[in-house]
Chains A and B, each alone.
Chain A
Amino acid sequence: MKKQMMDTENRPVMPGFASLSRLGADTLLVRLAGSWRMERSLPGAKDVLDRAGDLSGIRRAVFDSSEIVSWDSSLATFLATFFQECERRHIRAEPEGLPPGVQRLLQLAAAFGRRMDAKRPEPGGSFFALAGERSIDLSRSFLDLLEFIGSATLSLARLVRGRARFRLTELVHVLQQSGPNALPIIFLISALVGVILAFVGAVQLKMFEAQIYVANVVGIAMAREMGPMMTAIIMMGRTGAAFAAHLGTMETNEEIDAFRTWGIDPMEFLVLPRMVALVMMMPLLTVYADLIGILGGALVGVGMFDLSLPQYLDQTRAALTLTQFGIGLSKSIVFAMIIAISGCFYGMRCGRSASAVGEATTRSVVAGIVFIVVADGVFAVITNALWI
């Protein structure tokens, strides 16, 4: 059996309910009774009206609230919907019979309710509508991105011709932030990647007694692929995210507006130094990563597969051509641009709400890593086509 509701004096209290009856030809009497409190489930206005049966001829509704034991805003909520339903059915609801407090609440809600006319598009809609909107959004932000890349390129060109306003202090600041501080983590990751490559390679090569070639595997893989790629991913997570967060905070703080109203182009002032700094820094970091990775591989080769260190290093030197290094370095420059652009782009598109900076940062990192991997794929195709 259902548990009886109790009030404070432990008497059972009737939960709120509404009953409708006809009062003359065109009048509906709504009798409200019981305890209208949020703790229990209460009748819905629409149900009550639907269950009332034939309402034809009814032009007005009056209320009798003398049997209400207690009420809170759930009663007002019920009535607000009830009034709307009445209006829809062309019934005039006359609130005079309601408790004065409820009448006042309803007036307040009505006064504010009318004011809002925020025009926001209906959420939901059919699957196709949603998919369509999403693709329009995507293509629009892709166009924005292209525009951003375009104007970044233009300001780069202005810089090369010596026409851009370029702040050296900003460049130095970014260089300090993005370079030396990244060394420890790049050390750790590259050493581990070198070790892993050496293990995978050496175990296979040992079957042919060719474990010396592990030096080739590690050297080429680090210089061509893993060095630039891992450095780029680390830098996207560290520096790219920092760019997005910094520019996002500046946007939220109206600092970027402050540049614009002076007629100072934020592209030259903020984006350009970051691009230049990364383009200078990434190749250096990549070379560093290559070396550490090769040393990591040597550690495995020497420690576990009975190769001597000079032997391993000689083999590496023989395997690594300048071309391999060159490919890795050109990749690192492209990755540097990708990191700087996706960090700055999402930072500058940041909204003004409190959560906007976090969202911008996440977006920039995700997009940046995707672009890095895609660019790496493009490189693979091109180098393959060129036989290098």
Chain B
Amino acid sequence: MNHEREHPISVHDVTVSYDGTAVLNNIGFCVKQGEIFVVMGGSGSGKSTLMKAMVGLLQPARGRVLYDGTSFWEADPDVRRRILRRIGVLYQRGALWSSMTLAENVALPLEEFTALRPGEIRDLVSFKLSLVGLSGVENSYPSEISGGMMKRAALARAIALDPEILFFDEPSAGLDPVSARLLDELILELRENLHTTIVVITHDLESIFSIADTSIFLDSADRTMIAWGNPRALLEQSEDPRVRRFLTRGRLSGAPEG
């Protein structure tokens, strides 16, 4: 029971396949309450696939995904829906609903899942949008704003219902370095202030070293995870050349700065 309280997510021996071809094999790890957990790996190593299996989009061929000890894929639809309500997801491309304004995007989950009155929802929406620095563009459509703003608006939507767990799929992809660092800071702030457990998928080294408490490394050749630990510790101690190469890429010396 205690283990469950401290580890809101645990993944047991999960194998995920597309049309019978396994792209991820025997994944197992657990995520501690309130930590920032990073899933790293090169393109095509199955990071997004792993996230899909965790947020209820793709049923694993084998294995279990437990939320507070409840096996997600074996639960009834009602239980699943209750679990999903506690989760927020920021997709790789933002995935804002294109036919709605930013405010409507953030408001939709509130309208769907709470009994709040329209006025209250409006206030909550502008609060969430101001948290991500987007006051004043509530009534723009996703196509009218920049990529960085889109990601932040999507973040506002992801935190609309104050989720206990947040997933980020490559938050820095497609952003300039400045916006990417801003988003990293936002992630840290969220963890500090809302005590959210955060799972981040990324291959951005700077993000990895500045936000990760724990990480796992997925390898595209072996189609499984080959390391689990704090990235700095992995950098210092991992014997595996693939992990070392990934963590030291683009650096002259091995040590991360800062």
Contacts and interface: CB of A to CB of B under 8 A. Distances in A.
Contacts of B81: 263
A165 B112 contact: yes
Interface stretch (A12-20, A146-154, A254-262): A254-262
B91 interface: yes
Interface of A, secondary structure class, is helix
Interface string B202-223: 0000000000000000001100
B112 A254 contact: no
B229 interface: no
Given A115-B221, A263-B84, A258 B95 contact: yes
A262 B84 contact: yes
Contact of A254 (B21, B92, B109, B220): B92
A258 B89 contact: yes
B201 interface: no
B97 A262 contact: no
Given A250-B98, A254-B92, A261 B221 contact: no
Contacts of B2: none
A261 B98 contact: no
Contacts of A107: none
B93 interface: yes
Given A254-B91, A254-B93, A261 B57 contact: yes
Given A115-B221, A173-B99, A257 B80 contact: no
Contact of B85 (A170, A254, A263): A263
Nearest to A252: B93
Interface in A189-206: none
**Contact-residue bracket for chain B:** 20 to 34
Contacts of A263: 56, 80-81, 84-85
B151 to A, nearest CB: 13
Interface string A328-357: 000000000000000000000000000000
Q: A173, A246, A261: which has the most chain B beta carbons within 10 Å?
A: A261
B147 to A, nearest CB: 13
Contacts of A170: 99
B21 A261 contact: no
B55 interface: yes
A165 B81 CA distance: 15
Which of B89, B95, B96 is packed against the most chain A CB atoms within 10 Å? B95
Given A115-B221, A119-B21, A261-B55, A255 B112 contact: no
Best-buried of A115, A170, A250, A263 by chain B (most CB within 10 Å)? A263
Given A115-B221, A165-B112, A254-B92, A261 B97 contact: no
Contacts of A262: 84-85, 109, 112-113
A115 to B, nearest CB: 6
A258 B87 contact: no
Nearest to B223: A117
Interface string B153-190: 00001000000000000000000000000000000000
A370 interface: no
Contacts of B84: 261-263
Interface in A254-283: 254-255, 257-258, 260-264
A257 B57 contact: yes
A254 B113 CA distance: 21
Contacts of B109: 262
A382 to B, nearest CB: 38
B93 A253 contact: yes
Given A117-B221, A119-B21, A255-B97, 16 more contacts: A173-B99, A246-B99, A250-B98, A255-B95, A257-B57, A257-B89, A257-B91, A258-B95, A260-B57, A261-B84, A262-B84, A262-B112, A262-B113, A263-B56, A263-B84, A263-B85
Interface of B: 21, 52, 55-57, 80-81, 84-85, 87, 89, 91-99, 109, 112-113, 157, 220-221
The 8 closest A-B pairs by CB, nearest first: A254-B95, A263-B81, A254-B91, A258-B95, A263-B84, A261-B55, A261-B89, A255-B95
17 contacts: A119-B21, A165-B112, A246-B99, A255-B97, A257-B52, A257-B95, A258-B89, A258-B95, A258-B96, A258-B97, A260-B57, A261-B89, A262-B84, A262-B109, A262-B112, A263-B81, A263-B85
